């Protein structure tokens, strides 16, 4: 069964460093998303992406964040200068276009730890 994959599973970085989180969505999906979950808290939407453009973004997704689909398979989230409060689990998700059932498939997540 096709699935969303994410790498790395755990990333440790120093405050102020840049990180890139990688995702490979399901191959026939056209909508892509990033969510984050701070430990013990709810899952929060960051950004959605379609047709090589950001469709929607939350207040969390400020100038320090960017997304890119550099090739036909990868979808990346970059944090330019990490802060302690960026420590969280980051989930990538994808969904197929035009589906009446509207399911977003989630990857296993990347745990980001900022020291």
Q: What is the DSSP secondary structure assignment for residue 41, as one 8-state letter?
A: S
Instruction: For residue 109, state whether it binds another protein (rule: CB under 8 A).
Output: yes
Does residue 44 belong to the site contacting another protein (CB under 8 A)? yes
Q: Contact between 72 and another protein (CB under 8 A)?
A: no
**Which residue reads 């973004």 in tokens?**
57
Q: Which stretch binds another protein (CB under 8 A): 10-18, 31-39, 62-70, 71-79?
A: 31-39
Output the CA torsion 33→37→41→45 (10° steps).
-20
Rule CB under 8 A: say whether 25 interacts with another protein: no
Q: β-pairing, 88-95 with 105-106?
A: antiparallel
Binding segment (CB under 8 A) for another protein, from list 17-25, 63-71, 72-80, 105-113: 105-113
Contact with another protein (CB under 8 A) among 58, 64, 66, 76: 58
Applying CB under 8 A, what is the total number of residues that bind another protein? 32
Q: Is 82 in the site for another protein (CB under 8 A)?
A: no
The string of DSSP codes covering 46-104 is EEEEETTEEEEE-TT--TTEEEE--SSS-EEEEESS--GGG-EEEEEEEE-TT-SS-PP
- Phi then psi for residue 68, to 5 deg, are -155, 150
Q: Which residues bind another protein (CB under 8 A)?
A: 31, 33, 35, 37, 41-45, 48, 50, 55-56, 58, 89, 91, 93, 95, 97-109, 111
């Amino acid at each position: 069964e096709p699935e969303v994959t994410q790498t790395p599973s755990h990333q440790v970085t120093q405050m102020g460093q840049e990180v890139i989180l990688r995702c490979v969505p399901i191959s026939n999906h056209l909508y892509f998303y990033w969510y984050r979950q701070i430990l013990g808290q709810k899952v929060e939407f960051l950004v959605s992406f379609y047709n090589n453009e950001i469709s929607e973004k939350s207040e969390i997704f400020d100038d320090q964040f960017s997304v890119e689909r550099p090739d036909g398979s990868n979808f990346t989230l970059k944090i330019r200068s990490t802060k302690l409060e960026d420590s969280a689990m980051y989930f990538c998700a994808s969904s197929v276009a035009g589906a009446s059932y509207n399911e977003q498939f989630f990857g296993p997540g990347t745990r980001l730890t900022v020291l």
